[in-house]
Chains A and B, each alone.
Chain A
Amino acid sequence: MAPISIKELPRKKYVLPGNPSCPGCPETLGLRYIGMALGDRVILVVPAGCTAVIEGLAPGCSISLPVINVPFASADAVAAGIAAAKEVLGEDAVVVVWAGDGATADIGFATLSGAAERGDNIIHICVDNEAYMNTGIQRSSLTPYGAWTTTTWTGKKERKKELPLIMLMHKIPYVATASVGYPTDFIEKLRRAASIKGFKYIHLHAPCPTGWRFDPSQTVEIAKLAVETGMWILFEAINGKVRISPFSIPYKDRSKRKPVKEYIKLQGRFRALSDEELKKIESMIDDAWNTLLKFT
């Protein structure tokens, strides 16, 4: 695939100005990149979550794509149905599920796993802002260890569920992680996924100013720090073959990773993190890299 030229990215607005997202929202960023990557080919399946509200009030909608809102646990199944219909009718479409933590890892988990196991021809994007943001910042299984949420006031005691590895073990043709801090990487991965038949999974890291407690101007900065500290690993796996993405390659080397503290200190949700908890997070980063590198 040819490298992405920013100047040549489509300028058409798929996220419209005047939408009700929070300032600095990573979801609108992600949606803009879907528009840039795939444009009018997309049918977007949106379960309950921030984006359902970011669409704004009917009879208007802030997203300029075909959007079907669906019940929380149903997204991948509805998408599978739409994909089957399009195939039957001989109509071209890229069916994309745009699901948050809940609809991916919790209430929608069985549906996700079922669709992956069947190989339904859809792309599932998990827009991971690491809590149930739309309902008021409650913890999800994707909330990281030590993070404050409205249901984990002294910090989450459990670790973040490792969805990308779980999806890797479903042996689907395409698994990738991405970040709103690295749009060209995300766009390339979207286009690659759309060119493959079968079930594709992209896990998009989406720092949320409102829920993580940081200044809205820092969304991209924090997304980049996640990668630069090694907390978030950008990779893709085509038919199970894992390769670390270019922006994460420097951080294979432990000594090149920025100290985790630089990422943590900018976020109010980690304000009460103890030294012991910080050490645990540091060892989790090492573990994550060691595990993933075994697949390369």
Chain B
Amino acid sequence: MICVVIKPLTGNYAVAWAVKLGRVRVVSAYPITPQTTIVEKISEFVEKGEMDARIIRVESEHSALAAVYGAASGGVRAFTATSSHGLMYMSEMLWWVAGARVPLVMAIVTRTMGPPWNIWTDHSDFLSQRDTGWLMMFAEHNQEVLDSIIQLFKITEDPRVFLPGMVALDAFILSHTTEPVDIPGQSLVDSFLPERRQPYVFRAGEPITMGNIPSNLKEHMKMRWDIHKSLEAAKKVIAEVDQEWSKLTGRSYGGLIDCYRCSDAKYFIVGAGAWVGDMREATELLRSEGYEVGLIKMRYVRPFPSEELASVLRNAKGVVVFDRAVSPGSAGPMYLDVVTHLTEQNVRVPIKNVLAGLAGVDVTYEDIAGIVKSFINELESKGAISRYIEWYFG
């Protein structure tokens, strides 16, 4: 008999619970709105004796990732969280952790970048780090936040992967909004997560050196190649872990992507993050009006699910990729990846990029449905898209 405990949790508290259940031993973070309540909750767990961890109350985000990297290199499961400018401040360390091949898990409460100062959500902070070699995934709701972080401990510590990973949860929409969350029991999580594994550990008396100048530059290039390969290998691990978790909890998320009403769809919405929930509503609304729409929820953006996307979109008539971030002078980052990988997979389909919800601007399911409806109507009446990149202000 499984004992089910459902608590009303904010996304941030779901993160804290996952960290506790994952038996993290060292936590270090620097406060930044809207991540703050994650570490406050963890501190409470520790001080109440519910969690056995050291908390290093650092003086900056750069030091936060440095400290958990040190702890992880020293052989223990470690965790940090940040947002926006904090992520930029620790950006240098992201590269170091991935290059050092140290498994580590981080939560990013996605918040837009200033100036001007703005605490609301978009995905620019998270997506700006896509070249660092970290596994990257988006959560849609708080249950997924909790489940994904626990899963990420297992995925990152798999010898086929040995890379750090981060989960994005939208500022305030998830981080500070309460949803019912099923908290798995400690024994369930213990049976799911093996003892931590990592490629090397620093110990007194065992002289190894990490990171000194290579005598052969090709060796360094091989390391970059190996990171890329391991991210590719992670695709299988992600699917396996999803299956295992599903057997234990009854909850499957589909692995790299999740499809909603895709099997008989002709037009597709592609998105990631909290607003995928609104995209589901939009899909329902469009279907009720006779539009054959399906939704592809991007869970993982690194590794990028090229084959999975291609197999769903191979016979599609049109795709709208929603981006909550932009690479100015080019296009939305998710769109850039989608177009590139579909081309590589020989899938030819009209794809439109809609840039919406940046700087925390609210986007409703009616907005989304309206955008997709216009797209479909234009495509069906004119046979082509007039503008591939559209900024939507509402």
Contacts and interface: CB of A to CB of B under 8 A. Distances in A.
- The answer to whether any beta carbons of A and B sit under 8 Å apart in the complex is yes
Interface stretch (A66-74, A146-154, A167-175, A281-289): A66-74
Interface residues of A, number: 50
Given A81-B78, A88-B25, A114-B58, A56 B204 contact: no
Contact of A87 (B54, B96, B206): B54
A87 B53 CA distance: 11
A111 B204 contact: no
Interface in A35-81: 40-43, 45, 52-53, 55-61, 63-71, 73-74, 76-81
Contact of A67 (B60, B66, B78, B209): B209
Given A57-B215, A81-B69, A84-B56, A67 B210 contact: yes
A31 interface: no
B131 interface: no
B203 A55 contact: no
A114 B66 contact: no
A79 B58 contact: no
A58 B68 contact: no
Given A68-B202, A77-B62, A82 B74 contact: yes
A113 interface: yes
Nearest to B78: A81
B212 interface: yes
Contacts of A52: 212-213
B10 interface: no
Given A59-B215, A71-B93, A91-B203, A110 B72 contact: no
Contacts of A85: 25-26, 70-76, 78
Contacts of B264: none
Nearest to A14: B207
19 contacts: A40-B205, A55-B213, A57-B212, A63-B209, A67-B209, A68-B70, A69-B212, A70-B211, A71-B96, A73-B62, A74-B96, A77-B56, A81-B56, A81-B69, A82-B73, A91-B203, A93-B204, A111-B62, A111-B63
Given A82-B202, A111-B59, A69 B209 contact: yes
A160 interface: no
Nearest to B214: A58
Given A85-B26, A88-B25, A118-B57, A55 B72 contact: no
Interface in A214-242: none
Contacts of A60: 215
Nearest to B52: A88
Interface in B188-210: 202-210
Most chain B beta carbons < 10 A, residue from A40, A53, A56, A68: A68
A41 B203 CA distance: 9
A70 B56 contact: no
Nearest to A73: B62
Nearest to B63: A77
Contacts of B71: 81-82, 84-85, 88
Given A41-B204, A71-B66, A81-B56, A86 B213 contact: no
Nearest to A56: B212
B47 to A, nearest CB: 16
A92 B25 CA distance: 17
Interface string B336-351: 0000000000000000
Given A56-B212, A77-B62, A71 B92 contact: yes
Contacts of A73: 62
Given A93-B204, A110-B60, A120-B56, A81 B70 contact: yes
Interface in A147-205: none
Nearest to A120: B56
B26 A88 contact: yes
A234 to B, nearest CB: 28
A244 interface: no
A101 B54 CA distance: 30
A94 interface: yes
A214 to B, nearest CB: 27
B372 to A, nearest CB: 44
